[in-house]
Homo-oligomer: A and B are copies of this chain.
Amino acid sequence: MADKPEAVSKAAEITAQGEKVRELKTAKAEKNDIDQAVKILLSLKAEYKEIAGCDYGPPKKDKKQVEQKVNSDKQKEKEAKKAAKKAKAAELRAKEKAEKGVTQQEKKVENSSAAKDDTEESKKNYGDYGIINSSEVIEREFASVGDLDESMDKKSVWIRARLHNSRAQGSAMVFMTLRESQFTCQALLLADIEKGVSKQMLKYAASLSKESIIDIHADVVKSPTKIESCTQKNVELKVKQFFVVSKSLPILPLQIEDASRAEKADGEPDDGLVRVNPDTRLDNRVLDLRTTTKHAIFRIQAAVCRLFRNHLTNKGFTEIHTPKIISAASEGGANVFTLSYFKRDAFLAQSPQLYKQMAIAADFEKVFTTGAVFRAEDSNTHRHLTEFVGLDMEMAFKYHYHEVLREIGDTFISIFKGLRAECRREVDTVNEQYPRDEFEFLEPSLVLEFPEALKMLRDNGVEIGDEDDLSTPVEKFLGKLVKEKYNTDFYILDKYPLAVRPFYTMPDPTDPRYSNSYDMFMRGEEILSGAQRIHDPDLLIERAHHHGINLKHIEAYIEAFKYGCPPHAGGGIGMERVTMLYLGLHNIRMASLFPRDPKRLTP
């Protein structure tokens, strides 16, 4: 039976070995190596047939498909997903049936065969720690994979890392790839009974499931040739001891290699290799996040926040925290989530704006806040999320809102320069999988006025009215024109038409068609919207009337300005958008750790 536990575990070995064969082929390895790997694969399949009483899986069909090259990546992905699902179901069934017995049994087998050709010396050098439950304090220095280089030649180190890969090369050698965050290195286990490395120890190492976490005790040695498949290319590890910290299930819902594979450039021919589709990634986010690219993306994102806060703190801004649960849905209640709050209704804040403004009216002068923002908008696009992180700022000014506009522009420049200085390696890592032009910017920032933008668009054949808002495609096109003319991926568009902005936007003092408001763009996409806000309660009421807004709903808002309020302006930045667009990624879900959209609430 194909769902016998032994068959399932053999199937896993076959899957792993099949992948090794593919890898060797992809890497154009020596013919001998490939042949040997294929031989192992075939013998595994024979063993499978013996156990399961039937041929292994649907390999013929798969082969045919690859030959015909009719399938798109997506279809392949679908099948891989299906197969993984099936395997997982089988695994679960097997587990349910056999429960603990099997594990015990397996362990026994392991031990008895271990006893056969193991030495007492060797048995001390490998094994499973069991669940680390803090039963003992071990003072031990660990090195990081990322630190390994020639300067450490001949040093003895402990490393804790993922087993990215392991494969036996004949019976006397096991190749392992270890992974830690963004870094990988090669480790070698050579049978040498005098040094306490038995063949049984090698077998154990080769059988460990990928993605298990292990402690390795090893000597660092210079590698005779560059190791192209790892980030640490000049050294490898000669393993003396290894212990399992945490075992992974043998069958993974997605392969880290597939999830890490570089995107095909447009027009490049199909390479027949699996790439993981976005939903599979998100369904198995913990695994997807282990790729070096994802590690790099979220380290860059952490830097965006840090640079934003540090810049503003140095400029005298105070961080505040604004409530997410609010009593009234501002701006008429569209696109707002409703929750039940002790037998009444409450809402999730769509922005911290009112509260930032209240902090200004309370004399905090310059404030920023970073936190969750909620939009109940049924938009399923590459750039919308229902929950995202807002990097918001608000600032009192003396006479002209450009005092604030300049400050926001400088904040962006400070973030871009910081990323260039601090995240070179991370940006390069992302570029390997998702190649994109370097992000360009000017210092100080380029500021265009709305009518100038209209002229550029019209000169290039776009028909647009004086007081029309810009649609997303038009924004993108404008971004292209700006890039061509000024060579910047970041610019500020000032003086939007009053008609397309919210009621609290200060009108332009001279031309009633325009307003003291602005958007900011990265690679042609809006990442900040802001304005001088009306700080006078009477004018605010007048403008709310004009917009047909029920004053009852904005009473608290207006109240905030009755006891004197300085003129002020501000804006809100979408953190995920900044990360996405700085790196030129094509989907905002890649820049959200656990994205939320109208269809996705898990994990």
Contacts and interface: CB of A to CB of B under 8 A. Distances in A.
A134 B603 contact: no
Interface residues of A, number: 108
A575 interface: yes
Interface in A161-183: 162, 179-181
A596 B321 CA distance: 12
A211 B516 contact: no
A564 B319 CA distance: 38
A212 interface: yes
Contact of A603 (B286, B309, B341, B358): B358
Interface centre among A180, A212, A285 (most CB of B within 10 A): A285
B516 A133 contact: yes
A339 to B, nearest CB: 4
A385 to B, nearest CB: 10
Residue from A138, A287, A321, A535 with most neighbouring chain B CB atoms (10 Å): A321
Given A306-B313, A362-B290, A338 B337 contact: no
B137 A564 contact: no
Nearest to A354: B603
A286 B560 contact: yes
A320 B593 contact: yes
B362 A398 contact: no
A246 B564 contact: yes
Interface string A272-292: 000000000000011101100
B358 A134 contact: no
Contact of A563 (B248, B346, B594): B248
A470 B112 CA distance: 50
A510 interface: yes
Given A290-B362, A359-B593, A246 B398 contact: no
A12 to B, nearest CB: 13
Copies of the chain in the assembly:
2
Nearest to A603: B556
A226 to B, nearest CB: 25
A26 interface: no
Nearest to A328: B602
Nearest to A568: B132
B302 A562 contact: no
Given A318-B299, A564-B213, A341 B602 contact: no
A135 B318 contact: no
A386 B346 CA distance: 13
Contact of A323 (B142, B246, B323, B594): B594
Contacts of A387: 323-325
Interface string A317-346: 011111111111000000001111110001
A389 B320 CA distance: 11
A567 interface: yes
A120 to B, nearest CB: 24
A358 to B, nearest CB: 5
Interface in A554-603: 556, 559-560, 562-567, 575, 592-594, 596, 598, 601-603
Contacts of A213: 564-566
Contacts of A84: none
Nearest to A160: B398
A359 B289 contact: yes
A358 B295 contact: no
A121 interface: no
B399 A287 contact: no
Given A160-B398, A602-B327, A318 B290 contact: no
Contacts of A181: 363-365
Contacts of A544: none
Contact of A362 (B138, B289, B348): B289
Given A246-B565, A323-B596, A324-B387, A363 B135 contact: no
A56 interface: no
12 contacts: A133-B509, A134-B532, A137-B400, A246-B535, A246-B536, A295-B363, A305-B319, A320-B593, A321-B372, A323-B387, A327-B602, A341-B376
Interface of A: 131-138, 140, 142, 160, 162, 179-181, 211-213, 245-249, 252, 285-287, 289-290, 294-295, 298-299, 301-302, 305-306, 309, 313, 318-328, 337-342, 346, 348, 355, 358-359, 361-365, 370-372, 374, 376, 378, 386-387, 389, 398-402, 506-510, 516, 532, 535-536, 539, 556, 559-560, 562-567, 575, 592-594, 596, 598, 601-603
The 6 closest A-B pairs by CB, nearest first: A289-B362, A135-B509, A339-B339, A327-B601, A248-B564, A302-B319
